[in-house]
Amino acid sequence: MAKKSAFEELCGMAREIALLHSCGAVLGWDQETYLPPKAVEYRAAQLSLLSAKAHALVTGRRFRGLLEKAVAEWGSDKSPDSVRTEANLREWTHQVDRAARIPTALVAQESALTARAKHAWSEARRRSDFASFAPYLRDIVGLARRKAALWGFEEEPYDALLSGYERGAKTRTVAVLFETLQPRVAEIARKAVERSRARPRVERGGKYPVERQKILNEEIARDIGFDFHAGRIDTTAHPFCTTLGPADVRLTTRYEERDFTSSLFGVLHEAGHGLYEQGLVAADYGLPTGEAVSLGIHESQSRLWENHVGRSVEFWQKWYPRAVELFPCLKRVELEAFLAELNRAEFSFIRVEADEATYDLHIFLRFDVERRLVSGELEVEEVPRAWAEGFEALFGVVPSGDAQGCLQDIHWSMGGIGYFATYTLGNVNAAQLFESARRERAVAAGLKEGRYGPLLEWLRNRVHQPGSRYFPQDLMVRATGRATDPKPYLAHLRRRFLGS
């Protein structure tokens, strides 16, 4: 048997690390879905053991030694699948470099801090009291600044944080994109809210038994291509999607008895993430080429299925009769009225409950606050005031308290600073990918007839299967002919909310 190349050995080690991570993912999923309350403490110990073991392998001498050897060997490699090798070596080098710059003590400090901060945040939100969370946020921002300094950056510290979620992204580029979007989205939102206000509210209240919601959700998820032999749907307080192995993608949603669309759009959104995960090359599971490339691309998949497919007329022409069959109380509601309700625009305080027209305004605000916090332009104590002012400028109202304002999202308490921009990147990418996909006759015809196979195949080939072969912006160019471009998204919002 031929001796394994350093690259092959590296792949083997990466697969073992992925195995450990995937065990942690199973425990994490169980924690959100089924864990009894008294077991929380021990679960934390289980998870930290697994992540410590995986971390030790990634940062250990053996992995780094193999990587150096493989990079050296690579210069002389003439193998046909050179893009795959190159991409994996590039991403591993990047990951090891980032990991090596953070001292182990800092990692431990961060995980201890965020464990306490998550608890403090949920208490602070419950009491709508930013002051009690402020000391934690101060430490978290301090840590973020230190990490940014250790990782290094060209223009501003926020770059170093953002690129952990969106490979190759620059804060300035995102800021420019957001400056283009903000006045336009704000105008569309304002008009959309006006139009919605002028329209009488259609009462579609009734009882939507959870068991029947589950039937509809599963039928729809299966129909758009989610493979239930390699995944499932469970119930949690906050919907999410997590991957426990190359053929094991778990979605979750939450149910409201008075409104079946809440759980359904949770499923459509998470199934969009899930289709991406199920579309990755299983043989490369654990290697960068078998992993999603960035959050901005991931979110494009969830938003594409949730909004572009799931809120369209064509979609409901297919599915409304089935919904009426399952929920007889819908008999009183015409399809057109149902659709108008579905796309009602309103100014609301909570991002996760926001409609498409107003959603990005929440993101612009938080991106701005975060960026200024990290640069030092804004101090932690000033956050509630900055939030309220920014919110008023965008929405015309002031949140009634911190819980409805700057405390609403969990991300800061988890140390997730630099994350938020990817939500709007996802919206913009989704519109651009959907527009390109629909230019293909088979995709357009499929959507008209309620067949989602051609669209999924288009996404499989251009977005899912490459994994992390290319940087997100290169992926966008390859898939659509250009880098992330706000035009298709703005056109989509105008079409949907202003009918123009």
- Active site members: 270
Of residues 200 through 239, those in contact with its own copies by CB under 8 A are 227-232, 234
Gap between the Cα atoms of 394 and 365, Å rounded: 8
The token duo for 255 is 């149910």
DSSP letter assigned to residue 287? S
Part of the chain binding its own copies (CB under 8 A), chosen from 24-32, 338-346, 379-387, 471-479? 24-32
How many residues touch its own copies (CB under 8 A)?
A: 35
Part of the chain binding its own copies (CB under 8 A), chosen from 244-252, 262-270, 319-327, 400-408? 244-252
Among 13, 20, 241, 421, binds its own copies (CB under 8 A): 20
Part of the chain binding its own copies (CB under 8 A), chosen from 39-47, 213-221, 326-334, 478-486? 39-47
Q: How far is the CB of 21 from its own copies (least distance, A)?
A: 10
Q: Residue 289 or 480: which CB sits closer to its own copies?
A: 289
- 440 part of the interface to its own copies, by CB under 8 A: no
- Residue keyed to tokens 């009462």: 203
Q: Residue 231 or 415: which CB sits closer to its own copies?
A: 231
State the sign of the Cα–Cα–Cα–Cα dihedral 212, 218, 223, 224: positive
DSSP letter assigned to residue 202? P
Q: At what angle do helices 130-151 and 104-127 cross, to 10 degrees?
A: 150
Of residues 41 through 60, those in contact with its own copies by CB under 8 A are 41-43, 45-46, 49-50, 53
Gap between the Cα atoms of 79 and 62, Å rounded: 24
In what helix (H) or strand (E) does residue 393 lie, and over which residues does it extend? Answer: helix 383-395
Part of the chain binding its own copies (CB under 8 A), chosen from 23-31, 212-220, 263-271, 411-419? 23-31
Q: How far is the CB of 14 from its own copies (least distance, A)?
A: 14
- 244 part of the interface to its own copies, by CB under 8 A: yes
Binding mask 262-301 for its own copies (x = CB under 8 A): -----------------------x----------------
Gap between the Cα atoms of 217 and 194, Å rounded: 32
The answer to whether the CB of 259 falls within 8 A of the CB of 213 is: no
The answer to whether the CB of 160 falls within 8 A of the CB of 147 is: yes
Among 26, 96, 175, 388, binds its own copies (CB under 8 A): 26
Of residues 455 through 474, those in contact with its own copies by CB under 8 A are none
Q: How far is the CB of 449 from its own copies (least distance, A)?
A: 29
The answer to whether the CB of 458 falls within 8 A of the CB of 283 is: no
Among 19, 57, 143, 477, binds its own copies (CB under 8 A): 19
Question: For 121, what's the count of Cα atoms within 13 Å in the CB-facing half-sphere?
Answer: 21
Radius of gyration of the chain (CA): 23
The answer to whether the CB of 155 falls within 8 A of the CB of 170 is: yes
- 105 part of the interface to its own copies, by CB under 8 A: no
Gap between the Cα atoms of 199 and 220, Å rounded: 29
Helix, strand, coil content of the chain in percent (nearest 5): 70, 5, 25
Q: How far is the CB of 43 from its own copies (least distance, A)?
A: 7
Among 5, 9, 16, 375, binds its own copies (CB under 8 A): 16
The token duo for 414 is 């988890």
Of 250, 308, 279, 219, nearest to 458 by C-alpha is 279
Of residues 356 through 395, those in contact with its own copies by CB under 8 A are none
Among 3, 38, 78, 441, binds its own copies (CB under 8 A): 38
Q: How far is the CB of 9 from its own copies (least distance, A)?
A: 17
Q: How far is the CB of 27 from its own copies (least distance, A)?
A: 5
Of residues 145 through 164, those in contact with its own copies by CB under 8 A are none
The answer to whether the CB of 312 falls within 8 A of the CB of 447 is: yes
Query: For residue 386, how many other CB atoms are within 10 A of its CB?
Result: 19
Among 73, 187, 218, 248, binds its own copies (CB under 8 A): 248
Gap between the Cα atoms of 73 and 342, Å rounded: 56
Q: How far is the CB of 60 from its own copies (least distance, A)?
A: 15
Give CA angle at 352 (346, 358), nearest 5°.
35
**Binding residues for its own copies (CB under 8 A):** 16, 19-20, 22-23, 26-27, 30, 34-39, 41-43, 45-46, 49-50, 53, 227-232, 234, 244-248, 285
